[in-house]
Amino acid sequence: MRKSLVVLVLVAGCGGPPPSSAPVRFVDVFSEAVVEGTPETADANYAPTSWRFDEDELDWRAAQGVEGLRIEDGVMRGQTSSDQPVLIVANTGEVPASEMLYAVEVRARVSAGTLMEVRFSGPELVLPATLGNPLIAFTTPIRPGDEMQTYLIRATSNRSPEEMAHVLLIPTNEADAEFEIESIRLIFRGEHLRSIASGVGWHGMSEIYNEAIVTRAPERVRYEVELPAEPFLELGLATIEPAPVTFRVEVGDRVLETVIDEPDVWHAASLDLEGMGGQSVAVTLSIDAADPGTLGFWGAPAIRSNAAPENQPQAVILIITDTLRSDHLDLYGYGRETAPTLTRIASEGVWFEDTISQATWTKVSVTTIQTSLYPTTHTVEDIPDRLPASAATIAEAYRAAGYATLALTSIPFVGQLTNLHQGYEVLHESGSLQDWETLKSSPEYVSRLLPWMESHRDTPFFALLHIADPHSPFRPTEDFETTFAEPGDMDELDALTEQVRPHIQDPIMKQFGMPTTSELVEAKVDPELFVRHETNGMDGSIRGMDDALAKVFAKLDELGLSDRALVAVVSDHGTELLEHDQHFHGHSVYGELSQVPMMLWGPSYVPAGRRVETTVQTIDLMPTMLELSGLPASEAAQGQSLTSLFEEGGEARWNRPAITELLPNLRFDSTIRSIISDGWKLVRFDDEGEGEPRFELYAHRDDPLNLDDVADEHPEIVERLAELLENWRLFAEAARLDDEAATSQLDSAELERLRSLGYIQ
């Protein structure tokens, strides 16, 4: 990459009111900008990838669940014989390697069903029935009926040309449905952006996404802005073109100019504006290239202030440790020293002895943590679900307060697949990790977080660090493989997993290598040996994660930010290791899945060494962090700030039940909810079509893993808690988000911004 940089410096004048420290985000004020030099719309420099059916030759074939596939009257017709019908075609289209899929457009009529999916497979074809992993599906609701409809199915993650060697279309999720398909088209980012006006969007380079402005050479975008106090400009620059692109930023008389010829990579750039605070100046963004229409991407362009506001934490970090059980931390009484850093942080801050997660799998639980809404209310219940744009996230609260916002996520559920990019200026999706399938993400993500912290050392920032090291597969990184395991133990675990895999019935559990007790016995694998190896590996992974987190706290100290920092650590859920004869998570609400660690650290904001024994919920974390930051929580928030528990006697006044939900999804038809109150835990099972609910009761403190059901011995407690749980359900359902109603109240400019950033379709 070639770069040239020119900076001309002026000295600011004196006088006038003191300038604000609020940033100027050019994404937010794009509607006020003047765009000049727009070229004529140009087609992409490669052939479109599309299929029409106005000829007799049929490239598509029925892979499963489809009967009578044929071409008639210019459409492809057929009937589904299962609820997972698959049409498939070999993709011979050619696009540049730096391109990425924007959407799939399908013109079709379907007689029944609710969902259409598009999936992709590499050169070696893998069908959904054997794949068992729905994460790679792009979906859209369908409108069954007699009329042709155009469905634009937005891509939520990148797919390389090699990964798209086969296109799989699931036209409906209903058996015995008729379908007619007029056309199918893959729309790539470049051809889409060349066909529309320049403007704001949510764009990724190698799975790192930015709120961005896209312009086309030789356009110039002009703003008139008032600069904040102690200003500096920061932004990312990128192109998807193979030829050089010149980016130029003018702020008054100061100029930054950079030439980039490396596609699909964000290049960080900055411009010091010392002495210009409070001035009203013209700002111009312009690009130039040999080919008119060449695309340039301006990632999260903003003029920020080095004058951090007083009486607020400057550095706020939310650390979500995926699949971390509290009973595997020495802080919580575990016999191994798995997390000395977290133990130290807890001793210097506040830690919560009994924290209950509101869901037991990532997509639902992390959404609750970041919205302070129960799952029933925020509506994210299943893999295709997305958070409604009307929800207020913790990132949006900090963004609105002027904080720079960054998210580093280790699982697709925590990014665009759930609309949890809402409020972040920059998002690193899990696909950006070098080896995301191992899920040992903390070393790489911490190595990215540290320089970002340093570049924002003088301005307020909020960062989400979502790391998944405790998650299966349990083999730790090399440095920690034998921390608790013997040499060769992880190889033996791999061998035992392959031995039992053919006996695993659940297709998703088969993929993850997560057997039940009976499946281990059937495979002649000792369950105790299997779990012992898993435990040793998981504990080693926790220790490796803890080692990486130590570097974050060391960096805060190095940057002189420790006294201006607020850090929260929480897990989204636990995982089962055969306590109830199963593995994994998201299948129950028992203690091994719902009891998680949670702590707060910030020498200037929370007391040191405070241990809170009363039962709290992860839903309470967001309002607590916002209160400690001097920011208001959303009126819709269902959690409550925990700051009153920091005081002596605060726990005696706290009497809130804790709720955990498992709602119907692609794996389960049942609804399971639990409530913890007055030392008891009631579990309610509502099986579809089974009539009356079933209840289990546990002594919460004495039986944290919920192994001894005492419902028959305490019918009066069951009745009381069942009524309390039902009242809670009615409350949560009454507050259920209605995104259509919420978005109808937005003005046209805000509605378009949400749409351009991908929050609504």
CA distance 761 to 759: 7
- Cα angle 499, 501, 585 (rounded to 5 degrees) comes to 130
Which listed CATH number (3.40.50.2020, 3.40.190.10, 3.30.1120.10, 2.40.50.140) goes with 657-734?
3.30.1120.10
Please tell me the predicted confidence (pLDDT) of residue 155.
84
- For 24-41+199-305, CATH gives 2.60.120.260
**pLDDT digit string, tens, across residues 555-613:** 999 999 999 999 999 999 999 999 999 999 999 999 999 999 999 999 999 999 999 99
Query: How confident is the model at residue 689, as a pLDDT?
Result: 67
Give pLDDT < 70 ranges for the chain. Answer: 1-18, 128-136, 689, 739-761
Burial class (CB in 10 A: 0-12, 13-18, 19+), 291: middle
Class of domain 49-192: mainly beta
| Residue 98, both tokens | 């730096």
Per DSSP, helices labelled H in 42-119 are none
Residue ranges of the chain that CATH labels 3.40.720.10? 315-484+535-636
In order of 322, 327, 497, 538, the CA distances from 483 in angstroms are 20, 18, 21, 10
Q: Where in the chain is the domain with CATH 2.60.120.430?
A: 49-192
User: What is the predicted pLDDT for the residue at 18?
Assistant: 64
Distance from C-alpha of 164 to C-alpha of 169, rounded to nearest angstrom:
12
Q: What is the CATH number of domain 315-484+535-636?
A: 3.40.720.10
Q: Which two tokens stand for residue 405?
A: 């916002």
CA triplet 658, 659, 663: central angle to 5 degrees? 170
Residue ranges, comma separated, of all CATH 2.60.120.260 domains in the chain are 24-41+199-305
Looking at residue 372, its pLDDT comes to 98
What is the per-residue pLDDT for 740? 55
Q: What whole-number distance in Å separates Cα of residue 441 and Cα of residue 413?
A: 15
* CATH 3.30.1120.10 domain locations along the chain: 657-734
Contact partners, residue 727, CB within 8 Å, separation at least 6: none
- Output the six-digit token pair for 245: 């692109």
Angle between helix 489-500 and 527-558 (nearest 10): 130
Instruction: Name, in order, each residue with C-beta under 8 angstroms of 615's C-beta and a sequence gap of 6 or more.
Output: 354, 355, 356, 656, 658, 676, 700
pLDDT for 161 equals 72
Kindly report whether the global pTM for this prediction surpasses the value 0.75: yes
For residue range 71-96, list pLDDT tens digits in order: 999 999 999 999 989 999 999 888 88
Residue 124's pLDDT is what?
A: 81
